[in-house]
Structure 1
Amino acid sequence: MRTSKAQQAQTRRRLIETAVRLMSERGYDATTLKDVAREAGVGDATVYNYFASKERLLTGYFELVIDDALVQWRATPELGQFSLQEKLQCLVDAVLERLRPDRPFVALARDLLTRAPLTVLGADLPGKAVMQRELERLLDEAEAAAQIAPCSFKAALGGLWIDYLFGVIAFWLQDESPHEGETTELVDLSLELLVMVLHAGLLNRVLALGGFLLRAQMGRWMRRGPALIDLLRGVRAAVGPA
């Protein structure tokens, strides 16, 4: 009997949730796909129809997180009345809220994925396509509402959005400040700066440089500390209104 798409999605979620629990308890190396399948009540061979490897299961986790976060974010009351910056802040908050219960596993998965730079920095970064479409849509709406200047680089900026999110996640994992205050300030400052640049119409001149710097500095985002926040404060002061 063929399983429906809903059943397949339910099985996929069950496998991911089981893997999170087992890997958090036993460690990545001590957990096999067969362990995950048996614990989740799925056939040993069937699990490979969903995940060809443990690495693919890790990326599947982040894809599920992003899908769940988007559902939660879209259900935010009066989201349509928010400014572009508020919408983006709310979206980042939804992603972090979804990750928070699994923080030890997220750290484990991040460390493992960073050993595969083509996954972390390439086109296959988990959730890239769906987040790119979402950001492009938000930019279209903001442009139509005259919140930002006309922008011809929405697709490129959308492609950088998932890099930004994973940078925030890496920073958050190292954040030991009270109530994750440094992460909150990082997000607020960086998104405020982004919207200021978009509103001023500067994006066409700085996008290429900004994209290069974002990827080049990903390692620094993985370390907690005030340096990055101080940098953002300085840039905001430099480009902000007098």
Structure 2
Amino acid sequence: MRTSKSQQAKTHRLIIQTAVDLMTQQGFESSTMKQIAREAKLGDATIYKYFPSKEKLVLGYFELAYEDALAQWRQTPQTGFTLQERLQLLLDSLLERLLADREFVALARDLLRRAPLLMLGEELPGKRAFKHEVEALLSQAEEAGEIAPCPFKHALAGLLADYSYGVIGFWLRDTSEHFGDTTQLLDLSLAVLVLALQTGMVNKLLELGGFMLRSQLLRLMQQDGTGLLDLLKLARQGLGGGRP
């Protein structure tokens, strides 16, 4: 009997949540596809119709998390919001979605970091949908005169998708109260971005090469949080953003 798309979606989500729970309890290596299937009360062969391996299942988790975060973000009223506020709300929605699974996200993040080509590629889970939304935001801000004309919106949206994964890495290392350092990071980095867009400076930076900027961005996000926040404060002041 054929299952409906709705039932397939429910099973897809059930498998992912079961894997999250099991891997959080006993680790990635100790969890098997057969165990996940049985915990989800599915046939051993059924799980492979959705995910051919545990690695694909982990990628599926991030794909679903980004989809959920984007759906929540679209439902949130944003009338009168600036570009910076809308981008910050988008990233806040993502972190809020990941919060309940933070221990698993740390485990999964380590797996992704073992595949550097994936982290720099188009196949990053959730990247396509995230890019689409950000590119639309940039176009709207451009049309409203909030930022200078930007012919590189597609490339910039891709960089921001990579940046979202950098933010996740920073958040996982954040031990400040209520993740205050992460909130400060988002505020400062997005303020720098919008100021650069308003002055047209970001166009010149993107002309230098998106790949180089992307790799350096991901490298920056692995550095000590305090040093990175200080760097962003200086950048905001240099772009005319005033005192932090």
List per-residue Cα deviations over 1:149-180 (Å, max 9, x = no partner): 11100110111121100000000000011111
Provide the residue aligned with 2:168 in structure 1.
169
Provide the residue aligned with 1:103 in structure 2.
102
2:42 alignment partner AA: V
Distance 1:13 1:80, change over 3 A: same
Alignment of 1:91-170 (within 5 A): 91-170=90-169
Alignment of 1:1-242 (within 5 A): 1-77=1-77, 79-209=78-208, 211=210, 212-240=212-240
CA distance in 2, matches of 1:10, 1:224: 40
Unaligned runs of 5+ in 1: none
Q: Secondary structure at the match of 2:225?
A: coil
CA contact (8 A) 2:195 2:241 kept: no
CA distance in 2, matches of 1:208, 1:42: 51
Pairwise CA RMSD: 1.5
- Aligned pair count? 241
CA distance in 2, matches of 1:162, 1:227: 23
Q: Report the TM-score when normalising by structure 1.
A: 0.95
List per-residue Cα deviations over 1:122-163 (Å, max 9, x = no partner): 111111110111111111111111111111001101111211
CA contact (8 A) 1:96 1:169 kept: yes
CA distance in 1, matches of 2:107, 2:122: 22
1:24 alignment partner AA: T
Moved more, 219-228 or 193-202: 219-228
Q: Secondary structure at the match of 1:44?
A: coil
CA contact (8 A) 1:20 1:102 kept: yes
CA distance in 2, matches of 1:141, 1:225: 32
Report deviation, 1:2.
Answer: 1.2
CA distance in 2, matches of 1:177, 1:162: 24
CA distance in 2, matches of 1:43, 1:80: 47
Distance 1:93 1:81, change over 3 A: same
Unaligned runs of 5+ in 2: none
